[in-house]
Amino acid sequence: MSATLSSADTAWLRMDRPTNLMVITSVMLFDEPLDIERVREVYRHRLIGRYPRFRQRVVESSLPLRPPHWEDDPNFDLSHHVHHVALPAPGDTAALQEFVANLMSTPLDRNRPLWQVQVVDGYLGGSAIVNRLHHCIADGISLARVMLSLTDGEATAGVDPGIDEDGAEPHGLLPALPGTRAAAAVGRLAGATVRQGADVITSPSHAARLLGAAARNAGAAIGLLLTPPDMPTALKGDPGVDRRVAWSAPLPLTAIKETAHRHDATVNDVLLAAISGALRHYLQDHDSPVPEIQAMVPFNLRDLSQPVPSRLGNKFGLVFLPLPVGTSGSYRRLVSVHRRMEEIKRGADGPVSYGLLSVAGMVPEVVERRIVDLFSGKGTAVMTNVPGPKEPVFLAGVPVRSSWVWAPTSGHIGMSLSIFSYRGEVTVGLMVDADLVPDPEQIVLALEEELDVLSRLPAPSRRTGRARRKPGEPLSVDGHDHSG
């Protein structure tokens, strides 16, 4: 079976560079050892059997301007993709983090389907699974749902509304678009793209229609293109090949919700404010400039009421979220994050960026690289948030302790932050360029400290004597500051 890559998928395929591999990485942790044969059966039936892309390889066209296509791998063998390894001694978190970081620097084999799984024995007496999937197969939102579809038991109990049998609703930092006015922008800008085939991909009129749609959203497109680049700091520069990873201890979601409720904010507002504070402290500790920075946030464009399509693929845009790293005071950062998130939710940057990326997949590779460099130069980090089930789930009969998904970074970006909520806890994972940030655990520790500071801030009404704001009214700074 053969099928042409969409222009969006082609764009992600061609973004691969030695310094930034376009590979999505997810990690699952287990307190008990896994049965490798049982794990292989799960992947054989629930991954290979459901999604053809996992047994297909990418074949480049020999004709100029023709897109690559999917082709069944005639030599497909599950053992080429699901590997069983032992974690080097002492088998602790630091050893697993080093193992994951080394994988992140290793390209996938382009002669085979572009995915790989490592079943790791010996992690703190239990196991870990590291999934790696090339971005041209699917976006991180779809991958999270696919990974959840591998689980059993309580996999569909007690999760967020809108879940289908393929997994939890991954609404992330920003909401899905269908039913909003932004959905109309998707139809105008990206509708032709998601239905394209080999017969239209090379047509000049096809690109013209997409560019015309972008012109109808000219304000958002110009805003994206004119967003100023982030300045070089201890977090941003030309990335190298090596990576480092670190992740937080499980953070109680109830406590974060209480903090959010006390300030009429959201859980995401609190987490982003804490992340901003952690990055600020890291820059200060490394004698670096401390400016406002931009995070690139995936913006889902799928109808999440529908199952993940068997053909997978990419259907999301990117928006720039300014993080108030240059703002002093934990409460002031929370106010700023809340205001900026509300502004982004009302914008159309997500659909417009999806259209621009789709156009990038149709132009010569040298032109696409310039587009990627233009976008990536504007940001310092990629940030994703995938809510998981509220109840424990099981893979191959063993309960999953925790999990998260890292989006790859492109161009001049060397940091990826992952927020994953599961069974009443939140875990934050950090992937960084080893040359730029050799000590990511410092950022994780600072994040945990920032959350503690935010949890101890009294409600504004108790600090000022003013009435609490009404729902929908903006947060405001009351004159009190909590330095940091």
Q: Is residue 70 part of a domain?
A: yes
Q: Is residue 476 part of a domain?
A: no
Rounded CA-CA distance 99/103 in Å is 6
pLDDT surpasses 90 at 279: yes
Q: Is residue 98 part of a domain?
A: yes
pLDDT surpasses 90 at 307: no
The count of domains in the chain is: 1
| Tens of pLDDT, residues 346-399 | 654 444 444 455 544 454 555 555 655 666 667 899 988 877 888 899 999 999
Query: What share of the chain has pLDDT > 70, as a percent?
Result: 71
Residue type at 456 in one-letter notation:
R
In a 3-state reduction of DSSP, which class is residue 393?
A: coil
Rounded CA-CA distance 373/306 in Å is 34
Residue type at 378 in one-letter notation:
K
Of 16, 312, 368, nearest in space to 141 by CA: 312
| Tens of pLDDT, residues 14-55 | 888 888 899 999 999 999 999 999 999 999 999 999 999 999
Place of tokens 């400016």: 291
Non-local (6+) Cβ contacts of 98 within 8 A are none
pLDDT at residue 331, rounded to an integer: 94
| Tens of pLDDT, residues 85-132 | 999 999 999 999 999 999 999 999 999 999 999 999 999 999 999 999
Please state the φ and ψ torsions of residue 292, each to the nearest 5 degrees. -70, 145
**Residue count (the chain):** 484
| Tens of pLDDT, residues 433-478 | 999 999 999 999 999 999 999 999 888 764 444 444 443 444 444 4
Q: Residue 295's domain is classified under what CATH number?
A: 3.30.559.30
pLDDT at residue 361, rounded to an integer: 45
Q: Is residue 483 part of a domain?
A: no
Rounded CA-CA distance 270/278 in Å is 12
| Tens of pLDDT, residues 161-176 | 333 333 333 445 544 4
What are the DSSP E strand ranges found in 289-424?
293-300, 316-323, 381-387, 394-395, 398-406, 415-422
Q: 91 and 103 in contact (C-beta within 8 Å)?
A: no
Long-range contacts at 436-439 (CB < 8 A, ≥ 24 apart): 436/234, 436/235, 436/236, 436/237, 436/239, 436/240, 437/234, 437/235, 437/244, 437/282, 438/244, 439/244
Rounded CA-CA distance 271/339 in Å is 14
In a 3-state reduction of DSSP, which class is residue 234?
A: coil
| Tens of pLDDT, residues 391-430 | 899 999 999 999 888 988 877 789 999 998 899 999 999 9
Of 291, 346, 350, nearest in space to 319 by CA: 350
Query: What share of the chain has pLDDT > 90, as a percent?
Result: 48
How far is C-alpha 26 from the chain's CA centre?
Answer: 10
pTM: 0.79
Torsion of CA 217, 222, 223, 227, to 10 degrees: 150
Q: Is residue 477 part of a domain?
A: no
Place of tokens 């922008």: 185
Q: Is residue 411 part of a domain?
A: yes
Going 191 to 193 to 198 to 202, the CA torsion angle's sign is: positive
Mean pLDDT taken over the chain: 78
Enter the tokens of residue 150.
């591998």
Rounded CA-CA distance 380/326 in Å is 14
Q: Is residue 303 part of a domain?
A: yes
Cis peptide leading into residue 232 (ω within 30°):
no
Higher pLDDT, 242 or 165: 242
Q: Is residue 126 part of a domain?
A: yes
pLDDT surpasses 60 at 194: no
pLDDT at residue 357, rounded to an integer: 54
Residue 70 is inside which H or E element, if any?
strand 69-72
In a 3-state reduction of DSSP, which class is residue 57?
A: strand
pLDDT at residue 159, rounded to an integer: 29
In which domain, by residue range, is 92 found? 2-464
